[in-house]
Amino acid sequence: MSRIALISLVILSGCGVGAGSSRALSPSQALTSTAEWLEFEPTQVRVELFREVARQSSVQAGTRGAVLFPIDQDGQFIAAPALDVAADLLGTPADAGAVNLVFQTGADSFTDDRRDAFQGLSEREAAEQVARSLLSLWGVTMEGDINVVRAAGAPYAAAWIGGELRLNPSFVYMAAAPAR
């Protein structure tokens, strides 16, 4: 192999191109990056990111500090109950229909464009299913409307703070990955 070909192979492999590619995106990187980049990742990458988030939620459940799913409980922030790695957050639980979700509007709101990455749903529809599933899992009951805020770039996947659900759109992409 010529010296130029060898150097090219090393450079391309280092950039994430070719068979030697080991480009690994951590859940933290995915959550704080632009959500739409996940749309172009293979489904298996999004599935693995979801599984890793679920595994981390199991370790963090009930703890305090920097967590992926902080919830406000009696004025204290703790980690929400753990997610199952095989959870289908697009399958709305039977008891989740009673809550009235209100989505923020404006420049940084969930979009209504249908996407393959959301199994044919729009980002807002997928976010609604994920929100209902999380609220049910966490046992959140509330009279009146629950505001759902698109928390792009947040260091958490979802947070229940002050009576509103802050949902990271990168997590919606992960949760919508079809294979579990």
Does position 3 have pLDDT exceeding 50, yes or no?
Answer: no
- For residues 89-96, give the mean pLDDT: 73
Is the model more confident about 146 or about 99? 146
Which token pair is 21? 């590619």
Does position 74 have pLDDT exceeding 60, yes or no?
Answer: yes
Q: How far apart are CA 71 and CA 83, in angstroms?
A: 14
pTM score over 0.85:
no
Work out whether strand 145-150 and strand 100-103 pair parallel, antiparallel, or are unpaired: parallel
Give the pLDDT band of residue 28 (cuts 50, 70, 90): very high
Q: How far apart are CA 112 and CA 84, in angstroms?
A: 28
State the pLDDT at residue 106: 82
Q: How far apart are CA 121 and CA 132, in angstroms?
A: 15
pLDDT averaged over the chain? 84
